[in-house]
Amino acid sequence: MKDQVNDRTDEYGGTLEKRCRFALEVVEAVANEIGGNKVGIRISPFTDAGETRDSNPEALGLYMAESLNKYEILYLHVVEPRIANILDISETPDNGNKAIEENHADLIAYGRLFLANPDLPKRFAIDAPLNKYNRDTFYTSDPIVGYTDYPFLDQSISFN
């Protein structure tokens, strides 16, 4: 869908509408088969992983969100970029609450923060400091390191 990697010249390339066409056709087909209320899609318009950039990621995200509305899908999961030092984790709960209060989102997911903070709701509730996640331990074969070894606020509780 991103213009920096989609260099097609057929009906699936060029304009924003054409670049989004395939994804929307897939959503439509699945929604028609099982119902939009059972369909979710994840997009990452601002992420440039693997050099997949877009010259106007906001327009891309908005176009997809608006186009998906007609299928009445269950959810749209929009991923923020994983750029180091952009997210101040001390402001994370406030930013998430603000997005919901301003009707920009129905749900905020804190995947990496939840991994590093198994008691994340408690930490948010009492404004406790957050553990920083260690990206080097993501997607390893070790079932403990990086997954169940982060400390709780109360050290007497553990999954180990």
pLDDT in tens, 48-68: 877 889 999 999 999 999 999
CA 21 vs CA 1, 56, 67, 94, 156: distances in Å: 8, 17, 10, 36, 52
pLDDT bracket for residue 85 (50, 70, 90): very low
> 3-state SS string over 105-152?
CCCCCCHHHHHHCCCHHHHHHHCCCCCCCCHHHCCCCCCCCCCCCCCC
Judged against a pLDDT cut of 50, whether residue 158 lies above it is answered with: no
Q: What is the mean pLDDT of residues 109-116?
A: 88
pLDDT bracket for residue 93 (50, 70, 90): confident
pLDDT in tens, 6-41: 999 999 999 999 999 999 999 999 999 999 999 999
pLDDT on residue 86:
46
